[in-house]
């Protein structure tokens, strides 16, 4: 008797499973919409992660990213034009004289960041960099560069 009851319950479960399988085997259009939305959200999350990574890389980048470099022509005392480099160096809060020296070297304003850093240290100016935009060019010597970078900008 119990055996027949269990067989009957088993057959009923199999029948119910088969009915559910065949009637819900196709995804409804509403379910397809949810699946498509989930895929779109996943794609947007991947794109967001990519953008966040790019932003983090940009923020970690050197201070040179904040500089504007412009090639110019300038005249010397005899009136001859010579090629030079002129740029606006932007110093932000927390920038050090090493950051400024490295940026100047990368942009071609000075030949050696370590020499300029040594000059600043020797003259007690390495901790006196001023926040702001500083206009510098390749014709300036270390003293002129140091004066420009340690002058408070309005």
Residue 41 lies in a domain: yes
Residue 114 in contact with residue 133, Cβ under 8 Å?
no
Domain count for the chain, please give it.
2
Q: Is the pLDDT of residue 82 over 80?
A: no
Residue 107 lies in a domain: yes
Quickly state the pLDDT bin for 83 (edges 50, 70, 90).
low
Q: Is the pLDDT of residue 109 over 50?
A: yes
DSSP state string for 47-86 = HHHHHHHHHHHHHHS-GGGG-EEEEEEEE-TTS-EEEEEE
Q: Is the pLDDT of residue 153 over 90?
A: no
Same domain, 111 and 141: yes
Same domain, 108 and 121: yes
Distance CA 98, CA 103 (A): 8
End-to-end CA distance of the chain: 98
Residue 18 lies in a domain: no
Same domain, 81 and 142: yes
Same domain, 54 and 102: no
Lowest mean pLDDT among 29-33, 37-41, 76-80, 149-153: 76-80
Q: Is the pLDDT of residue 98 over 80?
A: yes
Structure confidence at residue 77 (pLDDT): 43
Tokens of residue 110, six digits: 């000075």
Quickly state the pLDDT bin for 148 (edges 50, 70, 90).
very high
Residue 9 lies in a domain: no
User: C-alpha 150: how far from its chain's center?
Assistant: 28
Lowest mean pLDDT among 54-58, 61-65, 125-129: 61-65
Same domain, 79 and 53: no
Can you give the residue range of the structural domain that contains 44? 35-62
């Amino acid at each position: 008797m119990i055996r027949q009851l269990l067989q009957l319950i088993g057959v009923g479960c199999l029948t119910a499973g088969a009915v559910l399988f065949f009637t819900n085997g196709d995804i409804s259009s509403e379910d397809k919409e949810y699946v498509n939305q989930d895929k779109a959200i996943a794609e947007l999350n991947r794109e967001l992660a990519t953008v966040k990574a790019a932003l983090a890389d940009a923020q970690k980048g050197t201070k040179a990213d904040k500089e504007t470099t412009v090639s110019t022509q300038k005249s010397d005392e005899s009136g001859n034009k010579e090629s030079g480099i002129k740029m606006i160096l932007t110093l932000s809060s927390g920038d050090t004289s090493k950051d400024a020296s490295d940026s100047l070297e990368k942009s071609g304003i000075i030949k050696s960041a370590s020499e300029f850093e040594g000059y600043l240290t020797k003259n007690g100016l390495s901790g006196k960099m001023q926040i702001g935009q500083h206009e510098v060019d390749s014709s300036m010597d270390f003293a002129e560069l140091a004066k420009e970078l340690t002058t408070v900008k309005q």
